[in-house]
Amino acid sequence: MESTPQQVLRAPFVLVTGGKGGVGKTTVCANLGVQLAGQGHSVLMVDLDLGLSNLGLFLGIQGGKTIEDALEGRCSFEDCVQEGPEGVKLLAAANGSESLTALDSERRQRLIAGIAELSAQYDVVLGDSAAGVGSDVMHFASMADRVLVVTTPEVAALTDAYGLIKAIDGFGSRAMVDIPTPELVVNQCSGVEEGQDIARKLRQVCERFLARTPRQAGWIPRSRSVAQAAQRSTPFVGTKRRGLEQLCLRQIAGRFRVLVGQSVSTECH
């Protein structure tokens, strides 16, 4: 049987993940955090891509202490928290740290305990995991209240998204943990119809082979402003322009109104 985290967070925990790299999971996570913070929520973002951190880069935060420093005893987890756009807080990981690419059970439990202690100060905790089906991803999914799987319309991305959902389902069964069925965010869509079609196809496969019905949390359009914001290391929800991508991001944020206690009425059409 798999060993699973024992420490329970004191705030709702949303894990953003993806089956493969390059699908935009960090873009979605960073902008979702800024959106929720801009709506008045206290948000802690945790970079759980522990060896190849780049969530801070997307939030325009560089330098400072990291999770690695806390795990090595050089500081507390509280000392590692930095402030980003709209007052969102970030617990950053290290970049290029081989020792963090696969945590042993003891270090993972220390990290979870640190996040759990910090979580008491926030309305919601967002985690940006590594891509793929690694052990850390499975364990972080097992402690999440919601899991968002980000994909694109590309066949390879869809195949890997299904593989990730299958791996999460299998991990939950072996560990006897009730992991919520992941919700889908389809990134880089040509329009709402493509987003719905992709989500429908993936849902049908999951229903057939896993008896799981992943719902669509939303979609993000293929957009020059999204790409430009990523190049500038700024969230696109922080731009003055109010385009379709902002409306779609607000719809995704609205999926968590029950968790964080505030309704978001704007919908993406």
Amino acid at 239: T
Q: Give the Cα-Cα-Cα angle 211, 216, 217 (nearest 5 degrees).
A: 130
Please choose, from the candidates 183, 165, 162, the residue with its C-alpha nearest in 3D space to the C-alpha of residue 173: 165
pTM here is 0.93
Look at the chain and count its residues: 269
At residue 126, the pLDDT reads 98
Cα(209)–Cα(190) distance, rounded to whole angstroms? 28
Edge-to-edge order in the sheet of strand 183-189: 81-83, 89-91, 43-48, 124-129, 13-18, 146-151, 183-189, 216-221
Could you read off the pLDDT tens digit of each residue along the chain, which spans 269 residues?
A: 455 544 579 899 999 999 999 999 999 999 999 999 999 999 999 999 998 888 999 998 988 999 999 999 999 999 999 999 999 999 999 887 777 877 889 999 999 999 999 999 999 999 999 999 999 999 999 999 999 999 999 999 999 999 999 999 999 999 999 999 999 999 999 999 999 999 999 999 999 999 999 999 999 999 888 888 878 878 888 656 678 999 999 999 998 888 887 434 444 54
Per-residue confidence (pLDDT) for residue 51, from 0 to 100: 82
CATH H-level superfamily of 13-256: P-loop containing nucleotide triphosphate hydrolases (3.40.50.300)
Q: Where are the domains of the chain?
A: 13-256
Residue 81: how many other CB atoms lie within 10 Å: 18
